[in-house]
């Protein structure tokens, strides 16, 4: 697994070269830029030029994560308490069109920034798997693939917390649409959350997903959580109230702060090419300095390399 990190860790701040420098100092070879207007305003030419200059001056691969919010004014409309509302496969046509337009606006930043790939989320949390979802997914991917191709972007579909994007359903969509050049961004934390209580896997289901999606995994999203069976009182304590307990499950913790068995996960990732980017996607925390983020990321990358070497031996 090649070291990588997402700017999601600084999501509450405006992204600037100083923060990118901090992420690069951790040893990350890939940086995923999270597209959100309050963080990286892809509609602001000066912001795009600033990031373009940084990526062209540094030997770091860039990846773009699609927007998950549609806001009229990013500086006043977004807050950490607002749920994602951009839905490429919404039942209403006008919502699908609005989502498609916003994603394309973000993709246009690749005209200047040398992004290699773009991560797509199909649906919102708890979106159901049905014929309409399949049809809308195929249409969205076909349309965005045609738009992204000339920009040099490979599309990577991400497994999220809904029925549409399970590894098996993503494979169905890719095969049904004959999307041979569309890949997958495999989110390890979401696999852990999707574990079936009757037969939980020590590796959080990573081995099964890797086998199923062999040859299609373009990168990994790496983060930890307490799983779907964490006692609600523990989640409520960390969230501050039982009302937020369910929302806290997808916690995006640093690896080792949750209940995932990272030695087992690392072993399950063994069949993947060693240069597959492993993107740390950590929750934003205003109290965590850029220096602390870089140090924690560096320590994880070193630990993963030791575990990978031990597994190879």
Residue stretches of the chain with pLDDT short of 70 = 72-81, 198, 230-248, 313
Strand pairing class (30-34; 2-6): parallel
Q: What is the DSSP secondary structure assignment for residue 174, as one 8-state letter?
A: H
- State the pLDDT at residue 240: 41
- State the pLDDT at residue 5: 98
143-161 pLDDT, tens digit per residue, is 999 999 999 999 999 999 9
Q: What is the pTM of this model?
A: 0.92
- State the pLDDT at residue 57: 98
- State the pLDDT at residue 287: 78
- State the pLDDT at residue 82: 74
- State the pLDDT at residue 230: 66
**Of residues 95, 45, 39, 89, the one with CA closest to residue 67:** 39
How far apart are the C-alpha atoms of 272 and 218, rounded to whole Å?
10
> Cβ neighbours of residue 279 under 8 Å, at least 6 residues apart?
4, 5, 6, 30, 32, 63, 185, 219, 220, 221, 222
**Of residues 311, 252, 270, the one with CA closest to residue 1:** 270
């Amino acid at each position: 697994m090649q070291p990588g990190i997402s700017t999601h860790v600084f999501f509450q701040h405006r992204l600037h070269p100083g923060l990118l420098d901090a992420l690069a100092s951790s040893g990350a070879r890939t940086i995923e830029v999270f597209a959100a207007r309050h963080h990286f305003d892809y509609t602001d030419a000066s912001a795009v030029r600033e990031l373009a200059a940084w990526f062209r001056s540094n030997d770091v691969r860039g990846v773009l994560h699609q927007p998950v919010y549609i806001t009229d004014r990013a500086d006043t409309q977004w807050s950490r308490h607002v749920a994602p509302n951009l839905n490429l496969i919404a039942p209403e046509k006008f919502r699908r069109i609005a989502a498609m337009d916003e994603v394309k606006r973000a993709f246009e930043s690749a005209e200047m920034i040398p992004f290699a790939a773009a991560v797509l989320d199909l649906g919102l949390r708890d979106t159901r798997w049905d014929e309409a979802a399949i049809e809308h997914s195929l249409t969205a991917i076909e349309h965005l693939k045609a738009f992204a191709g000339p920009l040099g972007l490979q599309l990577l579909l991400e497994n999220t917390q809904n029925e549409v994007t399970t590894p098996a359903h993503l494979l169905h969509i890719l095969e049904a649409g004959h999307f041979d050049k569309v890949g997958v961004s495999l989110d390890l934390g979401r696999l852990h959350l999707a574990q079936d209580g009757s037969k939980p896997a020590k590796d959080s289901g990573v081995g099964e997903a890797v086998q199923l999606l062999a040859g299609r995994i373009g990168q990994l999203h790496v983060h930890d959580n307490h799983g779907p069976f964490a006692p609600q009182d523990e989640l409520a304590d960390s969230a501050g109230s039982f009302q937020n307990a369910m929302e806290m499950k997808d916690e995006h913790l640093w690896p080792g702060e949750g209940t995932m068995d990272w030695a087992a996960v690392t072993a399950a990732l063994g069949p993947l090419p060693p240069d597959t980017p492993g993107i740390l996607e950590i929750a934003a925390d205003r109290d965590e300095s850029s220096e602390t983020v870089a140090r924690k990321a560096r320590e994880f990358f070193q630990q993963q390399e030791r575990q990978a070497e031990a597994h190879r031996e």
